[in-house]
């Protein structure tokens, strides 16, 4: 049957747009906040219920740059790279230009400088209120997560007060007495009497039994941690520092579990998460270990970002206590698998460290600041007045 030319023309006019639309069918738009490369947005300055502080121990700018190039290339972005606000933080202690972790963490916890080696105290040995203890005074839940011993310098400074960071058995006791809701990491030996296998306590106290009496669920494996319920969880997965390999939980999994528990508190929470072993790899001048630990740290940050995007009342701040190793990137390939790294020391350095902020009032953390400014700004955002202050001046629950 002969079809007139005008009818073919009409058919083409009708069908061509349909064919074109099929070829150019719009993809479902991905919100910017879910993109793996785009910058996270500035959120409205609404009330802050929750604060999550990430501390990359020993993490300097070169550690971040090297991990980025290795993992996603020079044009890619780690999760922390996507934070909308960045800053620099000075790190000197009260007695040294180059801080140690105890003095650095004490500054970030209490807002006061102290001497190297001291935990939660000023240089004159006065115990100072920490931002975690301030959160408890506001009826908020609290948590500490680390890949070191949970009694190590950085986590200890947020809930203990001792003159020497090596007093880990005493720190362990204070962590339980302080009733931090979530404690996850290594350091089981400091919770057990010396007579028990792997125990290191000379006072014969069994802090695992004490913790259970005080309402804690005690977990020693990843599976026990995942099944744990309730408001208090003590998870100890190694005698000292974690191996950061299976069957232990990853830092991201520990962070996820901490958030699962802490988010149930209607008043909000304070959580400190430490990527402890970035520092250890840098002390050893081990590039591969340093990069691996930083990427594990970044995975944990993504867990918190996913939570904060849904919650909209959570502020996340990422920083370091100091840089370690004097790491320098001198060359390599754009694909990042053959980086030319030089190290200038096996110890800490005095250079400023980066800070990243995301969430309500993130702009409060821009510019150049001192590490003592961090908890002061947290306290101000929570309306907690007269901070810093000696511990004796504050009635705690």
Q: Which residues are catalytic?
A: 101
Report which of 319, 397, 315 is spatially closest to residue 362, judged by C-alpha positions: 315
b/e map of 85-110 (b: 16 or more CB within 10 Å)?
Answer: bbbebbbbbbeeebbbbbbbbbbbbb
| Beta bridge partners of residue 59, listed in sequence order | none
Report which of 67, 261, 65, 278 is spatially closest to residue 182, judged by C-alpha positions: 261
| Token pair for 276 | 């402890």
Residue 124 CB neighbours (<10 A): 9
b/e map of 358-397 (b: 16 or more CB within 10 Å)?
Answer: bbbbbebbeeebebbbbbbbbbebbebeebbbebeebeee
- CA–CA distance from 173 to each of 170, 221, 306 (Å)? 5, 21, 33
Confirm if 200 and 192 have CB atoms less than 8 A apart: yes
230 Rama class: left (phi>0) / alpha (psi -120 to 50) / beta: left
């Amino acid at each position: 049957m002969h079809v007139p030319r005008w009818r073919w023309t009409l058919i083409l006019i009708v069908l061509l747009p349909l064919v074109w639309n099929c070829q150019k069918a719009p993809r479902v738009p991905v919100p910017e906040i879910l993109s793996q490369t785009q910058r996270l947005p500035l959120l409205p300055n609404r009330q802050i219920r929750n604060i999550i502080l990430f501390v990359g121990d020993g993490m300097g700018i070169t550690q971040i740059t090297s991990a980025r190039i290795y993992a996603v290339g020079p044009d890619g972005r780690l999760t922390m790279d996507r934070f909308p606000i960045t800053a620099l933080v000075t790190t000197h202690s009260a007695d040294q230009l180059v801080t140690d972790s105890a003095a650095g963490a004490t500054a970030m916890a209490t807002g006061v400088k102290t001497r190297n080696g001291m935990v939660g105290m000023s240089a004159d040995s006065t115990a100072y209120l920490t931002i975690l203890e301030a959160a408890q005074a506001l009826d908020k839940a609290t948590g500490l997560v680390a890949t070191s011993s949970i009694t190590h310098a950085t986590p200890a400074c947020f809930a203990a007060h001792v003159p020497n960071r090596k007093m880990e058995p005493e720190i362990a006791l204070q962590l339980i007495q302080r009733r931090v809701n979530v404690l996850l990491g290594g350091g089981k030996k400091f919770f057990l009497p010396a007579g028990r296998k792997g125990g290191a306590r000379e006072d014969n106290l069994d802090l695992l039994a004490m913790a259970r009496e005080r309402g804690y669920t005690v977990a020693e494996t990843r599976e026990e941690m995942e099944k744990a319920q309730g408001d208090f969880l003590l998870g100890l997965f190694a005698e000292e520092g974690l191996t950061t390999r299976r069957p232990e939980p990853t830092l991201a999994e520990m962070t996820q579990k901490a958030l699962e528990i802490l988010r149930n508190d209607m008043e909000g929470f304070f959580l400190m998460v430490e990527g402890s072993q970035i520092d250890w790899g840098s002390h050893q001048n081990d590039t591969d270990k340093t990069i691996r630990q930083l990427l594990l740290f970044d995975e944990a940050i993504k867990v918190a970002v996913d939570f904060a995007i849904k919650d909209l009342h959570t502020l996340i701040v990422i920083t370091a206590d100091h840089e370690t190793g004097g790491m320098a990137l001198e060359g390599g390939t754009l694909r990042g698998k053959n980086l030319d790294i030089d190290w200038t020391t096996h110890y800490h350095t005095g250079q400023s460290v980066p800070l990243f902020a995301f969430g309500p009032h993130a702009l409060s953390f821009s510019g150049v600041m001192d590490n003592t400014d961090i908890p002061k700004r947290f306290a101000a955002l929570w309306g907690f007045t007269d901070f810093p202050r000696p511990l004796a001046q504050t009635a705690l629950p």
